[in-house]
């Protein structure tokens, strides 16, 4: 599957984020990780830190799947607001999920620092604007439930919003806790750190077949003619999970993004916040370390990459018009645009852990939804605990057979 097309910004800006040799012979390990995107990289890093030997395989260059196309806003808010998630899984569990995502932001910051920084990780506020007047009531409900549960948020009406910025929203929810990153660069650094700690990373090596022996060990065959044998397998193949999952677990959609030419200032922008909106078509904005704006969203329920790509020029033009409407005082000009495939779950939560009908030593790390990277971090902790301890206190929330994931 072609995961993205057009001109994603990060690989252009950063070049190759890391280089690894293809698999050159048979290898035996404790954990095989399929996929060297941000998810596989975080898992490899966390296992390597825990002293667990692992081998990572990717058919592309490391980090060049969806991770290369990511706009990389880091938010603890799921695509499903807390007040709606609470009605699906109960307030206590919904708050637990939101708090775990909040903790993931802190952990990602710690990881960035432990790797020496330089991955564009910055703490940000996030401002969610009511796209329509009628959305103010939902934002109020959201502000209530979050404040009641200790999240640092403030509901702004039009007057207080005007004092802060020039964005034309009726109401907005201002959250103190968000961040942004260059996920492509961070993935390269994570993989290099894991390799230094003993992990074997091989990109340009496709896994073509796998088999589980009676004793539970897994063998992966590759297009290089060599095998990897492991006690555990982690499937971190992002949106390319069709071969490993039954239909109906996730819905694929197409999403679009552009990055502007740099500007010394963005008049009307509130304090370098991440900006996103209620309602559809969904749209969000962030800044880059070199003074640009990334605008993304305008998703379409298209699964065919050719149809997705056909719509790129029209979608990029629509995103630019939107940007100009939101920031009328700024000079917005598109530098590059791109599109990618994306996936959603019904409850906005990721799938992490073994399938109920599958082997207990084959774990999935599927961070679907708008905050896939936050979920990747969560998955890295849960899977490390499942491998090392045989259990994780959080695994139950994200299991495949939770009722809220089904239609």
Residue numbers at the binding site for ligand FAD (CB under 6 A)? 3-4, 34-40, 57-60, 65-67, 69-73, 206-207, 236-238, 240, 255, 257, 296, 340, 342, 367, 370-374, 376
Q: Which residue, 10 or 266, is less far from ligand FAD as judged by CB?
A: 10
The CB-of-170 to ligand FAD minimum distance in angstroms stands at: 25
The CB density around residue 25, as the number of other CB atoms within 10 Å, is 8
The CB-of-255 to ligand FAD minimum distance in angstroms stands at: 5
The CB-of-373 to ligand FAD minimum distance in angstroms stands at: 3
Q: Which residue, 255 or 404, is less far from ligand FAD as judged by CB?
A: 255
The CB-of-245 to ligand FAD minimum distance in angstroms stands at: 12
Q: Which residue, 66 or 136, is less far from ligand FAD as judged by CB?
A: 66
Q: Which residue, 82 or 155, is less far from ligand FAD as judged by CB?
A: 82
The CB-of-159 to ligand FAD minimum distance in angstroms stands at: 30
Q: Which residue, 136 or 188, is less far from ligand FAD as judged by CB?
A: 188
The CB-of-304 to ligand FAD minimum distance in angstroms stands at: 15
- Tell me which residue has its CB nearest to ligand FAD: 372
Q: Which residue, 17 or 255, is less far from ligand FAD as judged by CB?
A: 255
């Amino acid at each position: 599957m072609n995961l993205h097309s057009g001109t994603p910004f990060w690989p252009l800006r950063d070049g190759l984020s890391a280089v690894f040799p293809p698999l050159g012979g048979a290898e035996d390990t404790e954990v095989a990780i399929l996929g060297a995107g941000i998810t596989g990289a975080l898992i490899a890093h966390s296992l390597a830190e825990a002293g667990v030997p692992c081998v990572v395989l990717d058919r592309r260059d490391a980090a060049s799947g969806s991770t290369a196309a990511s706009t990389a806003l880091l938010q603890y808010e799921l695509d499903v607001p807390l007040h709606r998630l609470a009605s699906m899984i109960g307030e206590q569990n919904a708050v637990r999920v939101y708090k775990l995502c909040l903790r993931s932001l802190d952990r990602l910051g710690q990881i960035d620092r432990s790797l020496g920084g330089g991955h564009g990780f910055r703490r940000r506020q996030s401002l969610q604007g009511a796209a329509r007047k009628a959305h103010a009531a939902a934002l109020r409900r959201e502000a209530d439930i979050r404040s009641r549960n200790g999240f640092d948020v403030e509901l702004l009406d039009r007057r207080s919003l005007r004092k802060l910025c020039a964005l034309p929203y009726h109401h907005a929810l201002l959250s103190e806790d968000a961040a942004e990153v260059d996920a492509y660069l961070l993935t390269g650094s994570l993989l290099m750190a894991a390799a230094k700690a003993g992990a074997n990373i091989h990109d340009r090596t496709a896994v073509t077949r796998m088999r589980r022996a009676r004793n539970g060990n897994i063998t992966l065959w590759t297009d290089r003619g060599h095998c990897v044998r492991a006690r555990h397998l982690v499937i971190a193949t992002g949106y390319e999970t069709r071969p490993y999952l039954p239909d109906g677990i996730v819905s694929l959609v197409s999403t679009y993004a552009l990055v502007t030419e740099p500007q010394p200032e963005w008049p009307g922008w509130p304090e370098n916040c991440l900006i996103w909106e209620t309602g559809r078509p969904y749209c969000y904005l962030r800044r880059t370390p070199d003074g640009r704006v990334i605008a993304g969203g305008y998703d379409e329920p298209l699964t065919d990459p050719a149809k997705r790509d056909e719509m790129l020029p029209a979608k990029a033009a629509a995103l630019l018009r939107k940007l100009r409407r939101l920031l009328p005082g700024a000079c917005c000009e598109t530098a590059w645009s791109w599109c990618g495939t994306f996936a959603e779950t019904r409850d906005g939560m990721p799938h992490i852990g073994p399938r109920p009908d599958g082997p207990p030593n084959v774990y999935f790390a599927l961070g679907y939804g708008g905050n896939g990277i936050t979920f990747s971090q969560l998955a890295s902790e849960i899977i490390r605990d499942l491998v090392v301890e045989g259990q994780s206190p959080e695994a139950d929330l994200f299991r495949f057979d939770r009722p809220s994931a089904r239609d």
